[in-house]
Structure 1
């Protein structure tokens, strides 16, 4: 893999100019807006943001079982567990093979950051699914024993049902946040790769090998499969985490190049380019359609499956 060098990036003249100032604005402005949305909608700024007098559900509410139950009752949670384990093994194998073949320099790429996060998502999801299957098994055993010994009262039935409608614990929210972050990032990496890099493979330093193609397709395919099965909602405001993820990646590249004269993994990150601010703005704006595409996929899933499986579809939103 050839290196994309860009002069002396450690010199002050490379950074102290109007182009870098504009790029900072394009990167930090979305990060500031994202931080505000998280503060507002995740309840960090208002301890009562999750509660209303009517006790109605908010769009961004998450319930404990949504992290591990399939969206259709006819599908046992163990099948979602199996899918997540297989997906994790495939992604981990692809990541290891890619690193062994191309070296640790791959972690300079946004694609590898995304692939690593998707792999973590399936590992995390496998643990939550395993926990859910175990809990369901134990709850079922206890329920059968209670039904045999003494019929449940109406209040006890209500209590048991509400057990599955409790607000999710910390790890459930973390899982949903990771899901929505990798959803946008996977769309962004794959769209940029297949619409920009593949048509212009004459760019030096990029190759269309099997592992490269796999890294830009397997992640999204498996993520769409999990989306079709899971019960997770997809509130719009969590585009904030997607914006922060990309922003931290760009800041990492800037800090690295400020202290080390190294190569740029993507040519449009090079601040010495004449139209660098325009490229940064375009990439920033791409986050909106990329996240919207996955948002519409989730909405289409809810719309379709709720009509095909009217009696057994169990997504709350």
Structure 2
């Protein structure tokens, strides 16, 4: 039986497994943070965040879907916290669900802005330009009409090129990290924990099953509707999120908590480096699975719905 970090004190943290496991977590996180810093300079279009690829589907449906998913995620988090207390946030599952809720919160705000504000902004700018043209070009009504159409097209094109800003960037980051985290959460729970730990001390209730399934379901529904890209470089956000969770676990265990929520976090076993290496490596297929789903979206949906799904704008 392994002693807890609280029981052993500082001796628990000076064993050889600790720096090895620390390097296994720290090295990918350092590269991930460097990549994130570089990717922050790349432009992100607002239209990519709130529009859809479905020809006859209004973006308002994506807005409503994101608002509905946000409410459901918050409700699930509220119910599990009310049942078990804030202690549940020691688990990666609740971190993932909170991240999914943050994504849908940001997505709702950005969708609302993209759906309403640009049209009003474009319309007001167009009206001002029309008034100026009518004042300066009173000679020919046909010329005024032609220039009005030209101004409207230019305004629409300028709006399409509007940058997403800080809020949109955070939304994209949350989307990429939440996608990989949801796959990791559900795969570990349904393929590892349930088959091997299910018994008298571990039961799957409706709430537990829902919180380990609806995170991915809501994201997949959003992916089917949205126009967001899913670059492989987004893997860095997923890695940074996982590293932040491990840092949180090590910190609380060094301070006050005398147990690990997952047995593979235990550092006193000689197999700890292999467990941590496995945790680091499993991030790759989890993110890759979601990337393949997005790739299938752009390859299969245009064939299945050639008149409804627009592959690119």
Q: Indicate whether the TM-score tops 0.5.
A: yes
Please, which moves more after superposition, 161-170 or 265-274?
A: 161-170
Deviations 1:126-160 (A, max 9, x none): 11111122125525755997699834254652342
Residue of structure 2 equivalent to 1:174 = 170
| Rg comparison, structure with higher value | 2
Tell me, in whole angstroms, the C-alpha distance in 1 between the residues paired with 2:37 and 2:205: 42
Tell me, in whole angstroms, the C-alpha distance in 2 between the residues paired with 1:232 and 1:314: 13
TM-score (ref. length: structure 1): 0.85
Number of residue pairs the alignment of both structures matches = 298
Q: Residues 5 and 263 of structure 1 are in contact (CA less than 8 Å); yes or no, is this contact kept in structure 2?
A: no
Q: Residues 5 and 262 of structure 1 are in contact (CA less than 8 Å); yes or no, is this contact kept in structure 2?
A: no
Q: Residues 2 and 268 of structure 2 are in contact (CA less than 8 Å); yes or no, is this contact kept in structure 1?
A: no
Residue 223 of structure 2 corresponds to residue 227 of structure 1: yes
TM-score (ref. length: structure 2): 0.86
Residue 238 of structure 2 corresponds to residue 238 of structure 1: no
Residue of structure 1 equivalent to 2:187 = 191
Residues 219 and 142 (structure 1), Cα distance of their counterparts in 2 relative to 1, 3 Å cut: same
Tell me, in whole angstroms, the C-alpha distance in 1 between the residues paired with 2:258 and 2:35: 35
1:276-315 equivalences in 2 (<5 Å): 276-310=272-306, 313-314=309-310
Which of residues 44, 60, 74 is equivalent to 1:92? 74
Tell me, in whole angstroms, the C-alpha distance in 2 between the residues paired with 1:165 and 1:300: 27
Residue 145 of structure 2 corresponds to residue 150 of structure 1: yes
How far did residue 307 of structure 1 move?
Answer: 3.7
In structure 1, list runs of 5 or more residues that go unmatched: 44-49, 51-60
In structure 2, list runs of 5 or more residues that go unmatched: 132-140
Deviations 1:43-79 (A, max 9, x none): 3xxxxxx5xxxxxxxxxx5211111111213110111
Please, which moves more after superposition, 276-285 or 144-153?
A: 144-153
Tell me, in whole angstroms, the C-alpha distance in 1 between the residues paired with 2:302 and 2:145: 36
Residue 75 of structure 2 corresponds to residue 75 of structure 1: no
Residue of structure 2 equivalent to 1:111 = 93
Q: Residues 122 and 156 of structure 2 are in contact (CA less than 8 Å); yes or no, is this contact kept in structure 1?
A: no
1:2-151 equivalences in 2 (<5 Å): 6-9=3-6, 11-43=9-41, 50=42, 61-138=43-120, 150-151=145-146
Q: Which has the higher helix share?
A: 2
